[in-house]
Structure 1
């Protein structure tokens, strides 16, 4: 049996001059209007209303069974809604078959045909649509866009995982789709290649600014890196939605705070507005000041959310909040130290640059933080729709 040497990765996605030609000249958006999906008596997706604006990337994140993949499959036409409408570019496609929706899709296992060479995989959708006449020019164009030109004659088994993903993206773009659907496309890759591919996907979208992308993932880093807006799904409902930085800094509920990035979330009481968008709350025997971004009323019970990297060892003029706890554990992760404290019955996590002399477990430690880095989060949770 002959052995084949597999190259580690292809070159980065190339910048092709007429990039807008790859997906058409007009940007197209996606709309969910009260979309529900049920199998028998079990509701998988409940009354989802969401708009993906033309040319933007929206990521849907959530744990397994949250409904995020069902939402994407509804757009693709693989799942039929039991209620509501799917809109693509102002056109109601709810009852249209997948091939009539002009979408491109990349799934987590890439779904390349093993018996076809790279160039034939990329051309497959064009042949299925009866566009054989454009294959000669379109296939090389798309392979160049994803940096896979010199691999055109290879079979999928002769490529690495990252290279196969590039081919799958080229195939999706070859039909010049109005929207691109990405269903956990990086989950099968190792960590190093995944980070590189995130950069390349971002570069690809810069080269194709009119392409509307719906990206489904359980990985918060992928969502934070790529998306313009993020939707957080739970139990078939959209429970949080917003622009990336706004949703990260001011989560609307506890689940969103803890799911999107690591967070310290503490139950507090006795909210007292301070003016300027700030408020004071009581945690045990201490007061904490933070941003009242959601306009919570006087006396409200709520949570405070502060990220581990916003906690400091030394007090400063800005860091007027402080908490004292007992060190439970210290982890060195190369580029940072993670320290876990017990503050009464609560756990507080701190992340910082590597320490020459980290604190010992069992010692008492006081941490300080700026009110501007604290968000007051509503106690009650409701979904967005």
Structure 2
């Protein structure tokens, strides 16, 4: 990110006003519970989306110009008539923040933005939310909008839901904006109450590996939207505002009421909420080395009940566990992306080797494997 100001100057012919960065995230546990008003436990990682930003002088046209260090032309959009169809798909995560702020009554000037990112795209690590949060923080600070970080979470969620068209909850944006180093973020997605939970990996000799299967996914795909509809239907048929309100003890009753496929989707959400609570409890009493079985159970639920895993993710999880990981699960929206493995740091090299060998034997694309640690949230560079 240190080269971002010079790259901006080379592209736009002037220096940026400021640079900002926001991290991707790993969701330790709590998948698809966010839009069901449940509980999640993500943490920010040390891979970030960064922007160089310059507010454009006032003129007759309020113009957004956005470009990527990955190349391609500068995308231009007039803020007076901002529509998703008028913006390149990758740039909608930037434009959507302007659009969402306008919905809150802010009249924004134009801007020049150059985007860079080290968060893998389509890997289930919230590359999109990282972009949104970097842009939102930058505009908030440079224009003195006076919004809290909690407000910015909702701005970015609205951008992703209503401009990009991905029906996500607030997990990703909350992790990117609210996280602190060496902690996971325990978030109640109904009350929006957030609590920092200590996640001391390095000091306990542990490590989290991300296994990016390089099977790309997208939150605006039909599969994700079908899951949202199934959860909404399940809550409606059970007579509750959201699946957050269904206890594990009510699952026997739910099985009699719901169609089998809807029941499986409901079962995952209900049991996953309980696994988040159990994980928070174990982290507080026994530390991160005690949560492996909960990670394993979460993956089995996503595979068997929620139907969002794939062969590559299952292989990653099974291989990591067989090679000695304390626990493993897919992370993110599913249909591809990444798995995570919790392991003793001394075992990292052996588990990496086992994963590469297993993927090669299956004829799959070589996965990208890297370690992550709980880091800070969005910030000025």
TM over 0.5, yes or no? no
TM-score of the pair, normalised by structure 1: 0.23
TM-score of the pair, normalised by structure 2: 0.23
| Bigger helix share | 2
